[in-house]
Chains A and B, each alone.
Chain A
Amino acid sequence: MLKARHATGLVFFPAYDWEISPTHPERQERLLYTQDQILEEGLLDIEGLHEFKAGLASEADINRVHFCVPDVAHLTTTSHFISAGGCIEAARHVLEGDVERAFALVRPPGHHAMRVVQGGRGFCNINIEAVMVEWIRHHYPRIKRIAIVDTDCHHGDGTQDIYWHDPDVLYISLHQDGRTLYPGTGFPGEEGGPGARALTLNLPLAPGSSDEVFLLTVNELIRPVLDEFQPDLVINSAGQDNHYSDPITNMAFSAGGYARLTELLNPDICVLEGGYSIEQALPYVNTGIILALAGLDYSYLREPDFDPYKLKDKQQNIDYTKQLCRMQLKRWRDRPGRPAEARLVTRQRNIYYDTDSISENQDETFRLCPKCPGTIRIDSSVDYGPHALCIHLPRQACAACRAQAREWFESAGSNFSAVYFQDQERDEFIVRKR
């Protein structure tokens, strides 16, 4: 009889009563065929595989990560709370030792949601991985270093944004080159803030990349970096839209390739992100990921129309990827140490919320600090909309950063419609409205 080598938990929440709109890729039908395949394969009967009920995240769980403008209720539906809550349940069962690994097979996804949320971006309102990560760090202080490997076909610009300045979170993203796909970012030069250089590593891959290219990135870059970073937890944002049949991307990855990637990556927790080839890819890719997580044989798994000859990588793509991995490995190895002295660093950005057609301007001030991860002040404004001031104080904030954050909070002028103070250390979220 089949027996999992690694006890594996599955939180499956297909939200059969939720959609963005009837013909939107994020609709009721999305995980239906995946469920058919999982049940027909009898995956949940395998010894060592356990299905767990999804839960509900709380508003406090979301406020630990985001600045929702004007507030959480305006930007979420119940499904967002369950999707994030499903991730939290997956993490809980891993950290409590009920299982070794877990997969949160939930929707809607979250990796395009940034720290400040004024609306929906790329089908995401709430960053479900980040909500889970902050829940983990709050409830399990022994977990200090976390690596997030994002294998969705789209660049996870939201997750990158949230951990841009965080020296304890390594974010690696594999994605289709931003010049050819939404959200148009994720270039190698995007390497993290001045206090966390090279802790963001981007690998934009050429359209048409297939199994060989993907597995190359794991062997030549991701594995060596993870081995050196030695995270307490590895999280995989397991988007499935690199599949050759995905309707909104241009890659050529297979279900077998996804399974092998999962096996090599050896993550503690996987979280479903995108993936919209709901009939031809998702049933097989999800089966492959579950088998690989559990340490079971997946060699018999393939898509009905799988043709390895059609999906062979071009030599020039392989050469390009090798070169890219070498370059990023060098960036990682040459990363600077902690800064010698504190200073304020600023940047200006424009962020576009495609789902809600909102254009946001952000003025960010970051206190680069030698003693702690540093406090952040974000002045966020949208045309004809709210003008918010968001102050983030990280865990283990030093006294100087705390004083700076307090000063920002208290001196904020009446030009802001709301001032938010996110104190991760005290687990408080204070809002002052005009």
Chain B
Amino acid sequence: MILGIDVGGTRTDAVCIAGREIVASAKVLTGSDLVESIIGVISALAIDCRQLSRVVLSTTLSTNAIVESKYPRTGMIVSAGPGIDPHHFFLSDDFYLVSGAMDHRGREFETCRPAEVAAVVAELKQKSVTGVGVVSKFCTRNHAHESQIHELIKSDFDYISLGHLMSGSRNFPRRINTAYYNTAVMPLQERFVGSVKKALMELGINANLRFLKADGGTYMDAAAERLPVETIMSGPAASMMGTLARANSRETVLVLDVGGTTTDIGALVDGAPLLEKGISVGGRKTLVRGLNTRSVGIGGDSVVAVVDGELKIGPRREGPPVCLGGKLPTPMDALRVLGDFGEGDAAAAYQALAGLAAPLKREVDELAREIVRLTASSIHAAARRYIDELNAQPVYTIHELLHAEPVRPAKVILVGGPASYLQKYVAAAFVEPVEVPERPEVTNALGAALARTTGQITLLADTQLGRLTCPELDLVMPVDRYCTLEDLKKMGIEALNRNIAVLGLSPNAQFDVVEEHSFNMVRGFSSTGKLLRVKIQTRPGIIREWSQSC
């Protein structure tokens, strides 16, 4: 049996799966102690805990710590070399710039000075800092400086994050943010993993523990302690994966997650969510791979107002709908008046809408219909913009420009609280069929329970310099000039298999090569080597036990 738990801001949901059956589900209110909420929801499931083989958690722990700046003072040691002034990327006074520079091929042109690093260490220790991130520009090409600094400081700090281990992607400012946040939430994650393990043990659960990541994949607890930053924004990922489990098709699906304040728009393409190389948290961009989603300020509780004689919905939310005790009219009140939503005070909703209808000289029923129509058409317009943006993303080869398939959804899946009440109105706005999955309340927990493990690595071979690197696996090795793209892919898959535990992957993970490039290097008029680049990943998706049984 697999247990999926989604610890949300207000509610903690759990779902227990056996094969393709949901054998139990439960919810509790999320308290201030997340571990207690987890124990509470497991108890509420009333299942035989000894039967569990896997527990998957999706939490807001690291996201909230970052957004609310509730993390310990964290130091950063950065080496950059020329470019944009790196001081622009410093988030606090605990960021230090040291000597050392690599160029875009990873050739050192300024050495790292140990004495400078020692001075920074002394200062950070004076400030009682226990966690430090180390990032150098172009470390994904050559991480020698990061490793050198690591050697110099490893006995002085409890928590250290090295830039090249965060991601193989090129983006120095994002790498700084990523390493900083990762270090910042390490102590918190470590305590959390410890307490959860202890609690599970006490409940008689002897199962492996996984965490849901922003990309809709999971990883093992040990990897989560090393790279906690990957768990940010796992809530939307849980919802998307849950929807994928329900959709269970390889068609292109547009997913609309309608909440109280906002609607999140995303897409499922070929049986996997659409990903983005780096997502934002707390207003800062990172290299954490996440879902490609857009949020629009329109939801079930958005304030409906009349501005210059025109109806306007959102982006503000001022508490619950009037029918549920709020003060200002919302689309939910319109749905209440129309009878689509059956809970709460119908008379209060009618009164609230009447207040808007009078100055517009309209009937209340007619206004209610217009409000839901406008809500649906605004969501539709935002969804169109999202699809247009996806199809306007730049490409870099003639082949892609001429032959890339545009994203065209075959259907729309509507999830979230108001989904079922809004369905027929949203369906009227779209040409594509609009579906609402069954039991929407367990979608997130289901997504956590059923997500596959994911990880990715980047391999670069520069045969002129005779060097092969894989930043995520901390790998540097010599390579000869006969190395081909095929060799590199083979080496990458072997390296992945050797490092399954490091990346927190499941032993039966399947790998895909997602990017491969080969460039001849020509200097003067002769070929001097090749630059080979490969990205290998395990695709986010739903575990086979679930997806194959239907």
CB of B366 to closest CB in A, whole Å: 38
> What separation, in Å, do the CA atoms of A16 and B83 have in the docked complex?
25
Q: Which residues of B contact A15 (CB under 8 A)?
A: 396-398
CA–CA, A303 to B519, complex, Å?
23
In the complex, the chain B residue whose C-beta lies closest to that of A39 is B170
Q: Kindly identify which residue among B85, B103, B527 contacts A23, using a CB–CB cutoff of 8 Å.
A: B527
- Bound-state CA distance A79–B397 (Å) is 9
Minimum distance in angstroms from A419 CB to a CB of chain B? 33
Within 8 A of A (CB), among B391-408: 392-399, 401-402
Interface string of A141-164 (1 = CB under 8 A from B): 000000000000000000000000
What 0/1 readout, one digit per residue, does chain B (12-54) give for beta carbons within 8 Å of chain A?
A: 0000000000000000000000000000000000000000000
Question: Is B138 at the interface (CB under 8 A from chain A)?
Answer: yes
Is the beta-carbon distance between B394 and A23 smaller than 8 angstroms? no
Query: B84 to A40, Cβ gap below 8 A?
Result: no
Q: Closest chain B residue to A13 by CB distance?
A: B396
Q: Are A300 and B171 in contact (CB under 8 A)?
A: no
- Contact (A36, B104) CB under 8 Å given A22-B522, A29-B519, A53-B394: yes
A45 to B88, CA, bound (A): 13
B401 touches A82 (CB 8 A): yes
- Which residues of A (36-60) have their CB < 8 Å from a CB of B? 36-37, 39-43, 45, 51-54, 56
Interface residues on A, range: 35 or more
- Say whether A300 contacts B396, CB under 8 Å: no
| Chain B residues with a Cβ closer than 8 Å to the other chain, count | 42
Q: Does B517 contact A (CB under 8 A)?
A: yes
CB distance from A3 to the nearest CB of B (A): 10
Expressed in whole angstroms, the minimum distance between the Cβ of B521 and any Cβ of chain A is: 6
**Smallest beta-carbon distance A81→chain B, Å:** 9
Which residues of the other chain, B, contact A52 by a CB distance below 8 angstroms?
Answer: 392, 394
Give min CB distance, A59 to chain B, whole Å: 16
Q: Is the CB of B522 within 8 A of A23?
A: yes
In angstroms, how far is the closest chain A Cβ from the Cβ of B281? 14
Task: Tell me which residues across on chain A come within 8 A of B398, comparing CB atoms.
Answer: 15, 17-18, 78-79, 82
A302: chain B residues within 8 A (beta carbon)? 82
Residue A304 contacts which of B109, B141, B170, B392 (CB distance < 8 angstroms)?
Answer: B109
| B402 partner, pick from A43, A53, A78, A283, beta carbons under 8 A | A78
Candidates A13, A14, A51, A301; contact of B83 at CB < 8 Å: A301
Report the minimal beta-carbon distance from B48 to chain A, rounded to whole angstroms: 50
**A23 in contact with B84 (CB, 8 Å):** no
Given known contacts A78-B398, A283-B104, A300 and B519 CB-to-CB distance under 8 angstroms:
no
Query: Across the two chains, which residue of chain A brings its CB closest to B393?
Result: A53
Contact status B517-A305, CB under 8 Å: no
CA distance A351 to B165 in the complex (A): 57
B107 nearest in chain A by CB position: A304
User: In the bound complex, do residue B521 and residue A53 qualify as a contact, i.e. CB atoms below 8 Å apart?
Assistant: no
**A287 to B170 CA separation, bound complex (whole angstroms):** 15
For the complex formed, measure the closest distance between the CB of B390 and the CB atoms of chain A, giving whole angstroms: 11
For A36, list chain B residues within 8 Å (CB).
104, 138, 141, 170
Contacts of A14 in B (CB 8 A): 396
Question: Which B residue sits closest to A284, measured CB to CB?
Answer: B82
B104 contacts A37, C-beta separation under 8 Å: yes
- Verify if A297 is at the interface (C-beta below 8 Å from B): yes
> Bound state CA distance, A41 and B170, in angstroms?
8
Q: Any chain A CB within 8 A of the CB of B316?
A: no
B105 in the interface (beta carbon within 8 A): yes
> Given the complex, which residues of B lie within 8 Å of A299, measured CB to CB?
85
CB of A111, distance to nearest CB on chain B (Å): 22
Residues A304 and B101 in contact, CB atoms below 8 Å apart:
yes
**Complex alpha-carbon distance, A89 and B235, angstroms:** 38
In contact, A53 and B104 (Cβ under 8 angstroms): no
Find chain B residues with CB under 8 A from A41 CB.
Answer: 83-84, 172-173
Known: A29-B522, A300-B83, A304-B101. A56 touches B170 (CB 8 A): no
Is A28 interfacial (CB-CB < 8 Å)?
yes
A301-B101 Cα distance, complex, nearest whole Å = 13
Give min CB distance, A77 to chain B, whole Å: 8
Compute how far the CA of A211 lies from the CA of B115 in the bound complex, rounded to whole angstroms. 36
Q: Is residue B137 within 8 Å, beta carbon to beta carbon, of the partner chain?
A: yes
- Encoded as 1 (CB less than 8 Å from any B CB) or 0, chain A from 260 to 294 comes to 00000000000000000001000110010001000
Interface residues of A (CB under 8 A from B): 1-2, 11-18, 22-23, 27-29, 32-33, 35-37, 39-43, 45, 51-54, 56, 78-79, 82, 247, 279, 283-284, 287, 291, 296-297, 299-306
Q: Which 3 A-B pairs have the closest CB atoms?
A: A42-B173, A39-B170, A300-B85
